[in-house]
Structure formats: C-alpha cells, structure tokens
Amino acid sequence: MSHLARRTGISDESPLFSNGFILRVTAVVAVLAMLTLAISIGGRWIGRHITLAGNTDNTATVTITIGRDTLNLSENVIRFPNQRRSGVSERADVYLTWPQLQGYTKEHRERFDDVSQSADLIFLQITQSTMSRDMSGRVELIYKHVMEGAAVPYGSGLTLHKLKAEAGYGGEVLLTAPRANEATYAVRCILPSLTVSQTSGDCQRDIKAGKDLSVLYRFSSRHLRDWDHIDAAIRRFVEARIVTRSATPR
C-alpha cells in the first residue's frame, strides 16, 4: 500500500470511477444515442416529405363517390392530400404522366417536381356533371356562334377556329376534328407564340363518363398531335375505375 493510500485509508486497487458514476455516464450515452437515431430517422422522414411536396407514391386504393358514380383511385394519382380518403366528395383532382398514364412515382418524380417538365403531365378534374352536353356537344350549340374569321387547317386532322374575345374567349381558339361514328372532337386552347412557352395546361377539353360524371382534362399544346390518343386514353382510364354495382337482389 502506498504512502498516500496509508494516509487516506484507500487501497491502490480502488477503481478510478465509482459504479454509480459509470452507470450515469452509460445512461447519458444511451440517451444521446437514442436522440441521434431519432434525429436521423426524423430528418429522413422530414426530408422525404419536403421532397414529395404533397405528392405520394403510395398506390393504396381509395373509393370516392361523386354524385351517382363511385371510383376506385390509387392515392398516387390524386393531386391533393385532403382528397386521398374514401367517402363522398364533390370532385377528384388527378394528375397523370403522358403517355404512361401513371401517377406519382420515384421514376418520374421530376415531371411532378420540375415545372419545366410538367408539360408531360395531364391534369383531370372529375366532378358531377352540371351541363347536359360535353365540349363536343357544345360545338353547334354554343361555339359555332362565337367563332370569327375563316377556319384554317392546323395539322394532325385539326381545324382551328378563332373565338370572339368579347364573348369571353380572349386569346382562345377552338380546334375541331371530325370522327367517324362519334361527335366532333373539340378542344379549347391558348396557343403560345413560341414552342418554349407551351405549358402543361394550355389546352382543355371535357367529356362525360359513367352515369353522371364530367371529366375536364388539361394538357400541353405540344401534345395536340396525339389528340385522338389522349382523348381515348382518358376515357378508358376513368371508365376502368368506375365501380360497377350489381343490381340489388329482390
């Protein structure tokens, strides 16, 4: 035993740190480790949700009833978070990639996050119909009376008609195309003077679907050459998601 040990009565073999001190240090280290893990997980969660900016890649199905129609839609095709729930709703806002007709995915996230690439998206607004005719049905009933000037060929089978600004159609044109065994195709557009100015929604058209649905869809004028494919694809997309209810047994 050393001289210091003899004076203090403490053995040279006594530990430098007491068991209580070691336990307290261990507890502090454990707490810090847990906080670090929580911050790491929380940071990834927050970062992911900031990146998604309201989008989701969740493909779970929600069942939405609009008027007399019920649709099954996956969450990743629904634009707004507050609409991603089953139940009765006034409308469903949908966005889809073209030509894939897919909702938000990691593979195509740049189209949803980068405004400069949004021209490759199609936007749908599905509501209960408030008009007896869709856009094709309104050509003779309404649009024919607000056209001005001579109609001119536009390309891809379309004919361009200028619409009167004083009738509320400032800067808009109506593009039409005849179709066999179907009503005349019609779409309203604000055509940009430059191709680089084309946006994701400078053309719009509405069609009827289901029992009582109106489907207004918007797309970029750069895709006008595919007008017939887009129209058929949108109709198939909506009709395929309408729930068919069997008749109630008597």
Residues with Cβ within 8 Å of residue 250, at least 6 apart in sequence? none
CA-to-CA distance for 232 and 194, rounded, in angstroms?
28
Q: Which two tokens stand for residue 242?
A: 């309408």
**Domain edges within the chain:** 1-52, 61-240
| SS3 of residue 83 by DSSP | helix
Q: Which two tokens stand for residue 73?
A: 């839609």
Task: List pLDDT tens digits, range 94-153.
Answer: 999 999 999 999 988 888 988 777 899 999 999 999 999 999 999 999 999 999 999 999
CA-to-CA distance for 116 and 42, rounded, in angstroms?
31
Segment among 12-21, 42-51, 181-190 with least mean pLDDT:
42-51
Task: List pLDDT tens digits, range 164-207.
Answer: 999 999 999 999 999 999 999 999 999 987 555 556 689 999 99
Q: Which residue has the tokens 């070691």?
A: 22
CA angle, 87 then 89 then 95, to 5° = 105
Q: Which residue has the tokens 């927050």?
A: 46
> What predicted TM-score, i.e. pTM, was given to this entire model?
0.76
Strands 87-88 and 61-66: parallel
Task: Identify how many contiguous H helices and E strands the chain contains and give both numbers.
Answer: 5, 11
Query: Among 100, 121, 114, which residue's Cα sits nearest to residue 202?
Result: 121
Residues with Cβ within 8 Å of residue 190, at least 6 apart in sequence? 171, 172, 173, 202
Cis peptide before 178 (omega within 30 of 0): no
Burial of 200 (0-12, 13-18, 19+ CB in 10 A): buried
